[in-house]
Chain A
Amino acid sequence: MSPTQTFLIALRALARNKMRSALTTLGIIIGVAAVIAMVALGEGAKREVEDAFTSMGSNLLMVRSGSTARGGAFGGFGSMPSLTWGDLDAISEEAHAVRAAAPVLQTAAQAQSEEQNWNTNVTGTDAAFFAIRNWRIVRGTGFTDSDVESGTKVAVLGQTVVEKLFGTTFDPVGQSIRINNIPFQVIGVLDKKGQSHHGQDNDDTIIIPHATYQAKIKGGLQKFIPGIIMVSAISAEAAISAQMQISAILRDRHRLSASDDDDFSVRNLSEFASAQQQGTETLTTLLAAIAAVSLFVGGIGIMNIMLVSVTERTREIGLRMAVGAKPRHILAQFLVEALTLSLVGGLIGVILGLLTAGQLARAFGWPMLIRADIIVVSVIFSAVVGVVFGIYPARKASLLDPIEALRYE
């Protein structure tokens, strides 16, 4: 008997009990749908975390000044300036795992165009900043090292600032704005970055050369950097060695003996990223495990119904054997029935799972990530469930004695 015929016989047998077949399949449908939806959701959450960290910058490290300790009260990192401009140069030049380093000096300031004004965040930095933060310039240009050296009054605007000062349609490049009443020329506009993972608006900022910042916006000590140093490691893997190299360079330059604490801090943001990713992966695994349990339960449902079906159809089995069905024909018939139930359930489950994942992703505002491998694995797994749980009833049917089966009431 050909596989097609076996399949047609199975379909017909299942169609005779539509309600029962549908209910049996439901277990598998729910199981597979849950697996698909949970994994898609988990992947979405993972991507969300990844995106948040990528938007901060690539393989980012933050170097801050040390803390003051006055009368037992610690002032927090940065309260005592300890990072010098020399430290910055040393980090860029001596640490092999570092791609680039830039100072970041920040303050709030009032910005004005001809029509509007807006209180925003002004960042003084150098030309390397844009690469470190992975921040494209969509219109105009960024500033150069010579702008930084000569302290030219040029500004690169974030999208929010452009919107507030010029509206959404106007091209501000070449226009003049005032920051704390000092005129700056707009030379570029940054790409939109959206919210940081803390919920701050990344685009509500104006970037200017740090020499200009110190001369015109907010001065400071000549020797020390009144802010932090942002560092980009050459790769995600190199972030830890960059961290160690920076620590070694700074300890050496600050002449700290082995017993002294660091007077600075180096935070490796990729550590946070991977920790968060591990968290979401654990969640995904947990959800997928729960979903797999429901698939297993679905399989038991199939076995149960197949056993009932074999008992109910004992006479049919006896008749088929009497007219020439071999044990393997009977085995194949019931196995294909179980397989059909589970496979149809699996396919419906995939569709339902995708729809659910889409709805959930929309509700959470996450990207929906469909992993083709998970779909294939779910369908194969549901087929395996069908075979594993179908083999026992099918074997039981194939071992029936035709005489007793025909006599069965």
Chain B
Amino acid sequence: MQVAVDTVQLDDIFKLYQTGDVQVQALGGVTLRIAPGELVAIMGPSGSGKSTLMNIIGCLDRPTTGRYSLAGQDISRLDKNALASVRNRQVGFVFQSFNLLTRTSAVENVELPLLYAGVRSEERTVRARAALERVGLGDRLTHHPSQMSGGQQQRVAIARALVSHPHLVLADEPTGNLDSQTSLDIMALFQELNRSGMTIILVTHEPDIAAFAARIITMRDGRIQSDRLQTSLPATATVPSERAHTP
């Protein structure tokens, strides 16, 4: 894949919100590089700007100033429709509350991004099945979310994030609604996906979840407070090759 190009390249990103008469600065000059194949955790207290940063990385929002390249493509000035296409093909999302369509089977939930990508029906089903098998739900294809446990639902959501073969998977508090054992299982799945080459960014406020990541970025007041590599990882998380980090 694109070994030479950073998956995420943020340069001096500012994000300002106008709330009534008050201007709020959510991000105040963030510069960040994430290489293909990294597993990164972003931590920080609420209001630190980590959600805003996630939204910009996930192409759900645009920076007020600054430049953002996703896999070499400058997307900081794209319009709504172009951003939707980028999200569709290059980013997979995993949410805290799963966000699955109710009364809709696992396969059909996973097919959703492919539907908007214009993939034909037969191919959609084949790819959705493959994605579900990859997250260990090969035997739950036709189950509805209400017939599955929280951990299974989150696996379906992960399969949905994988199905379009994105450059990047963004997981926003993916274990926030899960018990601790299931959380560990889900993190193990993320690690396994990461080992097979997937770039993953997690947002979490739980240190033991962040501990699964090789690299932990801590946000405070709209800036990166620390950006460090972990030397001792639980389980078998891999450390990517040497990186230059700009705090």
Contact = CB atoms under 8 A, between A and B. Distances in A.
Nearest to B61: A403
B103 to A, nearest CB: 5
B95 A326 contact: no
Interface residues of A, number: 21
Contacts of B160: 323
Contact of B60 (A315, A316, A325, A403): A403
A324 B102 contact: no
A1 B88 CA distance: 13
Nearest to B161: A323
A327 B58 CA distance: 17
Nearest to B100: A319
Interface in B73-100: 80-81, 84-85, 87-89, 93, 95, 99
Interface in B39-88: 55, 58, 60-61, 80-81, 84-85, 87-88
Interface in A308-342: 315-316, 318-329
A322 B118 contact: no
Interface string B118-132: 100000000000000
A325 B88 CA distance: 8
Contacts of A321: 60, 84, 87
Residue among B84, B93, B102 having the largest count of chain A Cβ atoms under 10 Å: B84
Given A12-B104, A403-B60, A403-B61, A323 B95 contact: no
Given A1-B116, A324-B117, A319 B99 contact: yes
A324 B164 CA distance: 11
Contacts of A5: 115
B58 A322 contact: yes
A16 interface: yes
Interface string A367-409: 0000000000000000000000000000000000011001000
Given A1-B115, A1-B116, A403-B60, A324 B104 contact: no
Contacts of A406: 60, 95, 99
Contacts of B58: 322
A324 B85 CA distance: 6
A321 B60 CA distance: 9
A396 to B, nearest CB: 16
A402 B99 CA distance: 13
Given A321-B84, A324-B85, A406-B99, A329 B55 contact: no
B101 interface: yes
Given A325-B84, A326-B84, A327-B84, 12 more contacts: A16-B103, A316-B101, A320-B116, A321-B84, A322-B60, A322-B87, A324-B113, A324-B116, A325-B116, A327-B81, A403-B55, A406-B95
Interface of B: 55, 58, 60-61, 80-81, 84-85, 87-89, 93, 95, 99, 101-104, 112-113, 115-118, 160, 164
Interface of A: 1, 5, 12, 16, 315-316, 318-329, 402-403, 406
5 contacts: A318-B99, A319-B95, A320-B116, A321-B87, A403-B55
